[in-house]
Amino acid sequence: MFSFEKESNKNVDNFKRCLASTVKTQSHWGEEVPISWTKLESVFKHLQKGCKVFPFSILLRIVLKTNDLGIKNEEDLLNALTFFNETGVILFQTEIKHVIILDVQWFVDAFKCIILDEKHVKDKTFLDNFDELHEYGLLSNNLLEKLWKNDNFYQYKKSLVNHMKQLDMLAELSEEMWYVPCMNKQKFDSTILDNCNASSRLCFLFEFLPFVIYHRLVVACINNMGMKPWKSTGRMCIFHTVTILTYKDDTHRVLVAICDNKERTHRDFPYSLEIQINVTKPREIDTRTTSKIQELICQNITVLTQGFFSCKRHSHVGYRCKLVPFGRNLESHIIKEEEMTKQDYECSKCSQVHIVNVDSIRRFWKVISF
Ligand SMILES: [Zn+2]
């Protein structure tokens, strides 16, 4: 059952229709589930009173002993848990199936402690430690202990952090340090790329601002692809809308950015996630490496946008019309893949019309249909 509240009657029918069609696109819609599973939900409610985190192995033992649940083996339980995760009753991820979070709101509250602003921090004594998190998104174990000590979260640190990592809410930089991208407020300064050769910019176009996808992509690059934040002058290059990560070969770096394109020419897809590879001069960019990175990033974007219906339907790929390191104050526009039909593309989107050699822009990337 879904309930909603609206202050006026304006558009209420359209809103209901939209709500209904959105709900029906959920993967579990129309799926038949055993009635006995509802009893399992009561088991969760009962267990929840005693603890928030529960080991899978013990739950399995309990349900196998309880006859009327209709769960006969481990596979049955995994199916039921996956269903209850999708419907928001519990938090269960098959990748870390040994620990189940029984109380989703409690998990959300734990994350809320991390993303507090300084005005709402109750205990002012550790505010000096808070700056690294508040300004740079860097969360030390020390600070986490303080943020979580009041509400009993800290004793479940390992389970909570693991689930947050799995959901791309934070990235593990070391055993004692995490990166929480939504807290980062640093501005990018393009001069750090002055001595670099850069690829063209591959752009994934969106109708809406995909900030969550940007954050999750950065986290996924660190957690799953072995990339690490690049350090320049002793500071990690992670900024509010731009991140530079080192690729495993240690020569190529990946810049991931989110752009809000206000120009008239970008009206149909005003937002983009952009990828640019850079190396230190006189090194040259190896296009085999850029293609490999592109493949990895595309896989991740596909996974990350799965839950976004409109995004899946409308996403397009394009390239910036000029070949310069990111962030230089130089006008450039996005040419969509499907617009590149000729070898020489005449870009009249820029205020001074210019010719783009399509090969020079495309040579870094494999042709993709997205
Ligand atoms: Zn142009």
| Residue 86 domain boundaries | 12-102
Report how far ligand 1's centroid is from the alpha carbon of 91 (Å).
47
> Beta strand 242-246 with 228-229: parallel, antiparallel or unpaired?
antiparallel
Task: Please return the burial class of 168, using the count of CB atoms within 10 Å of its CB with bins 0-12, 13-18 and 19+.
Answer: buried
Report how far ligand 1's centroid is from the alpha carbon of 322 (Å).
6
Concatenate the DSSP letters of all residues of 26-92 into one string. Answer: STTTT----THHHHHHHHHHHHHHH-SEEEHHHHHHHHHH-GGG---SHHHHHHHHHHHHHTTSSB-
pLDDT of residue 370: 47
Report how far ligand 1's centroid is from the alpha carbon of 318 (Å).
13
> Which residues in the chain show pLDDT less than 50?
309-314, 370
Report how far ligand 1's centroid is from the alpha carbon of 207 (Å).
21
Report how far ligand 1's centroid is from the alpha carbon of 247 (Å).
29
State the first-to-last Cα distance of the chain, in angstroms, to the nearest integer: 34
Report how far ligand 1's centroid is from the alpha carbon of 14 (Å).
40
Report how far ligand 1's centroid is from the alpha carbon of 320 (Å).
8
- Considering the domain architecture, whether residues 137 and 234 belong to the same structural domain is answered as no
Q: What distance lies between CA 177 and its chain's CA centroid?
A: 19
- Considering the domain architecture, whether residues 155 and 249 belong to the same structural domain is answered as no
Tokens matching residue 98: 């040994």
- Considering the domain architecture, whether residues 49 and 69 belong to the same structural domain is answered as yes
Q: Which of 87, 102, 117 marks a domain boundary? A: 102
In a domain, 222, yes or no: yes
- Considering the domain architecture, whether residues 157 and 123 belong to the same structural domain is answered as yes
Name beta bridge partners: 204.
273, 317
Report how far ligand 1's centroid is from the alpha carbon of 191 (Å).
22
- Considering the domain architecture, whether residues 233 and 210 belong to the same structural domain is answered as yes
Report how far ligand 1's centroid is from the alpha carbon of 253 (Å).
25
Cα gap 323→201, rounded to integer Å: 8
- Considering the domain architecture, whether residues 240 and 329 belong to the same structural domain is answered as yes
CATH number, domain with residue 263: 3.30.310.200
Report how far ligand 1's centroid is from the alpha carbon of 76 (Å).
57
- Considering the domain architecture, whether residues 205 and 295 belong to the same structural domain is answered as yes
pLDDT of residue 187: 92
Cα gap 307→28, rounded to integer Å: 13
Concatenate the DSSP letters of all residues of 284-327 into one string. Answer: ---HHHHHHHHHHHHHHHHHHTTT-HHHHHH-EEEEESS---TT
Report how far ligand 1's centroid is from the alpha carbon of 96 (Å).
47
In a domain, 49, yes or no: yes
**pTM of the model as a whole:** 0.79
CATH number, domain with residue 60: 1.10.10
Three-class DSSP category at 261: coil
In a domain, 370, yes or no: no
Q: How many domains does the chain have?
A: 3
In a domain, 133, yes or no: yes
Report how far ligand 1's centroid is from the alpha carbon of 321 (Å).
5
- Considering the domain architecture, whether residues 245 and 230 belong to the same structural domain is answered as yes
Q: Which of 132, 165, 183 marks a domain boundary? A: 183
- Considering the domain architecture, whether residues 205 and 302 belong to the same structural domain is answered as yes
